[in-house]
Structure 1
Amino acid sequence: MDFGLLSFVSGLDKVATTLNGFLWDYILIIVLLGCGLYFTFRSGFLQFRSIGDMFKLLGDKSTISSKDKRGISSFKAFTISAASRIGTGNLAGVATAVSLGGPGAVFWMWMIALVGSASAFVESTLAQVYKVKDKNGFRGGPAYYMEKGLNARWLGILFAIIISVTFGLVFNSVQSNTISLALEGSFGWDRSIVGLVLVVLTGLVIFGGTHRVAAVTGIIVPVMAILYILLALFVLVTNIDLIIPMIQVIFSNAFGLTEVVSGGIGAAIMHGIKRGLFSNEAGMGSAPNAAAAADVSHPAKQGLIQTLGVFVDTLIICTATALIIIMSGEYLNGSDGIQLTQDALAFHVGDWAGTFVSVAIFLFAFSSIVGNYYYGQTNIEFIKNSPVGLNIYRLIVMGMVYFGAVQSFGLVWNLADVSMAIMALFNLIAISLLSPIAFKVLQDYQRQKSQGLDPVFYKNSVPGLKNTECWDDAPKEK
């Protein structure tokens, strides 16, 4: 029995490795960068010129509290997506990118964030345009804009299945795997026991509904992000003389002659983009599910807020982890994943850092499990609103949390890369076809802003817009 299970796991790992090579080497990188660059130029470099507006919207009173008691605020929708973004990708994922792709991988993480943030705007804006009402407020995402915008319910159902498997099952196994490895490395805890504890904690939250998800992430994410950033700033300040040489190392490894000759530049690009996409999710089709739940007066508002989430994740959190690792030099010693991050912090601040990282990764990764589940829930409800079906899905999610906790590091990340690639391809094709609508919505937002108004969206603001459920026609002037 054990031998058969080991054979199955080994075969699964080989299949995932083969698919990864094909999808990432020949398809996904080209599509990701191509779409990101097109959206960047088409929107007039929105992600750069509207940064001030993004921060203003995030701090606006209307984004902090929802007018509709059934809905969630724009800020809470931001924290749900941040809960999924800010997790193992920032600690273990960055470490993997640096260990396998070298310091140059960090540069390519930056690039996919800067370019991909335009994709994040498009997908989240479309999610708001085509969101629907439910008993809790609103829900939506790629499955919904595929059905309503492209008139292809079959495609929406297919995507709903893919994202439910990717986030609720595969990505959650990555999160629990990272938690169990961190706790085993720091305290010697049995990974199977850690897995059982995670299953219980996950069940307590996900059976509580959307508002409990929002409440949990709204508290955990800001606290854990601030604590981690403060520690990173301490390390940087105490090693300020290494900052410029460290940045030089990143750029030289991203473009250096040695890397071109040895093929290392390809590894830097590949692992940088892979881990960058896993972390910030720009264009993947996940964040729109949280964006659609927000109660805002204009779709572009939430699009801008979700764009900011990409910057916060990669340019701040991921960069902080990368700088800590590169300055320590620990990536040259053969360690990988969360162990590398623990070793790097221990190098800078002492052995207690291993304990700190274990606690931090628990908070980061557990909040990601909660956020990932929400994406699965809203897509299961798209397929069929069945309480029984949703409860079965919840049980499978809990099962995969345990699976990830006891499996190998390589297997869960290989599975994650395959499912992430398939999901991103479907979403990028859909938002490319629907992007003219997103840009018309953006034009309407910018027109009202230029008139000094607080933008309000109506479905006839975009001529020919159909199948929108949550937006009224503009009132006729008397």
Structure 2
Amino acid sequence: MELIESVVGAVNTVLWDYALLFLLVATGIYFTVRLGFIQIRKFGEGMRRLFGNFSLSGKKAGKDGMSSFQALTTAIAAQVGTGNITGCATALYSGGPGAIFWMWLSAFFGMATIYSEAVLAQKFRTTDADGHVTGGPLYYIRAAFRGKFGKFLSGFFAIAIILALGFMGNMVQSNSISDAFYTAFGVPHLAVGIVVAVIAAFIFLGGVRRIASFTEKIVPVMALFYIVGSLIILCINRANLLPALQSIFVCAFDPQAMLGGALGLTMREAMRYGVARGLFSNEAGMGSTPHAHAMAQVKRPQDQGIIAMMGVFIDTFIVLTLTALVILSSGLLEPVTGALKGTPLAQAAFNTAFGPFGNAFVAICMFFFAFSTIIGWYFFGEVNVKALFGKGAVKVYALLVVVFIVIGSMQKVDLVWNLSDMFNGLMVLPNLIGLLALSGLVARITRGKEETHKLS
């Protein structure tokens, strides 16, 4: 077991501390330049599409897919998760306030990457044996590379995402929920796990129609709840707000100028933790959200690409930034209280303004964030299970996910968390290879020089 843990740890160090850090950012920069800074040019249109399509009860999803807004909320359900609370707090503890600046920068370039993912998911979406619309990286990777290499690369991606998100990732999310509820209310971990599993199973069994209906209702409500709560705290801590913002920019380039000096932080650590946690949170380039965007009912692939960028913006520039400002304005990120990290640091920050209700607030938000991620990640895994093993394997997959949710809630197993990180990283590699191979096609579609997608 120790050997496995050491191997997984070594692979994660190479992937997340070096390879993916540079590959994901470089890919984002490449698409940003090649597409003419599309995240700036089309930002206004993206916001108009977001609020123009806003609905808590849209048309029911079915064989023909789902609405553009439902696809976005399904994607955001996966993006806005524990990384927005725990991941942000961890980045601040390990990389200092400057980590947030590098989160913003990676998210800015990531908007161009996720645009490209959504465009290709739309371009190469298809119909399965039952006539249901489906799509995702597996399909555009196959299109990019014909023959055995394409089959191997797409199959590798599909297996990695099933393991990373469907199984181990959902164990991590379930554990985050049970931990938060145990801390806030003293509810036994197993009891929380069973409740989460039962609710999840009910949604899983309803298929894409129930998943889309759930996400379009819960995502806007949970985001609004968290935003309002965070803004209330920032109003209470308003005297510390400007110093908090200042620390983000100063510590991004000179971590030792403020508390980083006492903690021994460097600019490299601020970049490393900021970029890594930011990319893990918004999932740009990871190949997860294209499964939702492929099912959107839009006239042109670039239409969904534009609205897909809004998912990264909401995840990083709004939700994650609010968490960072709440923690920084609380004054708890100090060497004397530096033992606090992760979820306890976030809960302590909310407690400074809300009192004992802070724990409950974070627990409730953690439930909605993590549970919505469970639904989104299950769906992404299901698409790949169906593509690899056929429709008959979906029920077995759903049952296994429910079991993993219960097991994950009972105890935090470091190996499971590390395996989740590893397979998350491994699934990025074939996705980026496919994206870069088809970058010319993305550019032609963006310029309107490629015919509209056709289902096959």
Please give the TM-score of this superposition, normalised by the length of structure 2. Answer: 0.91
* Aligned residue in 1 for 2:310: 308
The CA distance in 1 between the partners of 2:352 and 2:94, in whole Å, is 20
Q: CA deviation at 1:425?
A: 1.8
Is 1:350 the counterpart of 2:355 in the alignment? yes
In the comparison of the two structures, how many residue pairs are matched? Answer: 443
Q: CA deviation at 1:271?
A: 1.7
Is 1:96 the counterpart of 2:90 in the alignment? yes
Is 1:372 the counterpart of 2:372 in the alignment? no
The CA distance in 2 between the partners of 1:235 and 1:341, in whole Å, is 12
For the residue of structure 2 that corresponds to 1:444, the secondary structure is coil
* Amino acid aligned to 1:181: D
Q: CA deviation at 1:100?
A: 1.8
* Aligned residue in 1 for 2:99: 105
Identity of aligned residues (%): 38
For the residue of structure 2 that corresponds to 1:331, the secondary structure is coil
Classify 1:12/1:190 alpha carbon distance in 2 versus 1 (closer, same or farther; 3 Å).
farther
Select between 246-255 and 294-303 the one with higher mean Cα deviation. 246-255
* Amino acid aligned to 1:236: L
Classify 1:181/1:15 alpha carbon distance in 2 versus 1 (closer, same or farther; 3 Å).
farther
* Aligned residue in 2 for 1:338: 343
The CA distance in 2 between the partners of 1:397 and 1:331, in whole Å, is 37
* Aligned residue in 2 for 1:54: 46
Q: CA deviation at 1:266?
A: 2.4
Residue of structure 2 aligned with 1:169, choices 160, 167, 177 = 167
* Amino acid aligned to 1:36: G
* Amino acid aligned to 1:160: A
Is 1:18 the counterpart of 2:22 in the alignment? no
Classify 1:327/1:256 alpha carbon distance in 2 versus 1 (closer, same or farther; 3 Å).
same
Q: CA deviation at 1:262?
A: 4.2
Deviations 1:299-337 (A, max 9, x none): 001011111110010000000001101111223321222
Over the residues paired in the alignment, what is the CA RMSD in angstroms? 2.2
Deviations 1:206-262 (A, max 9, x none): 122111111111111100100110111112223223222111111222211626994
The CA distance in 2 between the partners of 1:143 and 1:97, in whole Å, is 31
For the residue of structure 1 that corresponds to 2:286, the secondary structure is coil
Residue of structure 2 aligned with 1:145, choices 140, 147, 166 = 140
Deviations 1:414-466 (A, max 9, x none): 23321221111221111011111011000008xxxxxxxxxxx734xxxxxxx
* Aligned residue in 2 for 1:381: 386
* Amino acid aligned to 2:316: T
Contact map agreement 2:118 2:294 (CA 8 A) in 1: yes
Equivalences for residues 148-227 of structure 1 within 5 A: 148-151=143-146, 152-227=150-225
Is 1:431 the counterpart of 2:429 in the alignment? no
The CA distance in 2 between the partners of 1:414 and 1:212, in whole Å, is 31
The CA distance in 1 between the partners of 2:311 and 2:445, in whole Å, is 20
* Aligned residue in 2 for 1:476: none
* Aligned residue in 2 for 1:118: 112
Deviations 1:157-213 (A, max 9, x none): 221111111111122112111101101111122212222222222212112211111
Residue of structure 2 aligned with 1:254, choices 243, 252, 255 = 252
* Aligned residue in 1 for 2:127: 133
The CA distance in 2 between the partners of 1:138 and 1:315, in whole Å, is 32
Contact map agreement 2:203 2:211 (CA 8 A) in 1: yes
* Aligned residue in 2 for 1:458: 451
The CA distance in 1 between the partners of 2:131 and 2:296, in whole Å, is 11
Contact map agreement 1:104 1:254 (CA 8 A) in 2: yes
* Amino acid aligned to 2:177: I
- Gaps (5+ residues) in structure 1? 1-7, 446-456, 460-467, 472-478
The CA distance in 2 between the partners of 1:249 and 1:83, in whole Å, is 30
* Aligned residue in 2 for 1:463: none
The CA distance in 2 between the partners of 1:12 and 1:235, in whole Å, is 43
Q: CA deviation at 1:263?
A: 5.0
Deviations 1:34-75 (A, max 9, x none): 111111111110001211110122234599658987321010
The CA distance in 2 between the partners of 1:190 and 1:61, in whole Å, is 41
Contact map agreement 1:67 1:295 (CA 8 A) in 2: no
Classify 1:217/1:241 alpha carbon distance in 2 versus 1 (closer, same or farther; 3 Å).
same
- Gaps (5+ residues) in structure 2? none
Classify 1:408/1:264 alpha carbon distance in 2 versus 1 (closer, same or farther; 3 Å).
farther
The CA distance in 2 between the partners of 1:101 and 1:391, in whole Å, is 42
Contact map agreement 1:68 1:295 (CA 8 A) in 2: no
* Aligned residue in 1 for 2:282: 280
For the residue of structure 1 that corresponds to 2:40, the secondary structure is helix
Deviations 1:115-159 (A, max 9, x none): 111100111100000001244742111001011233223321221
The CA distance in 2 between the partners of 1:397 and 1:187, in whole Å, is 26
* Amino acid aligned to 1:227: F
Contact map agreement 1:94 1:321 (CA 8 A) in 2: yes
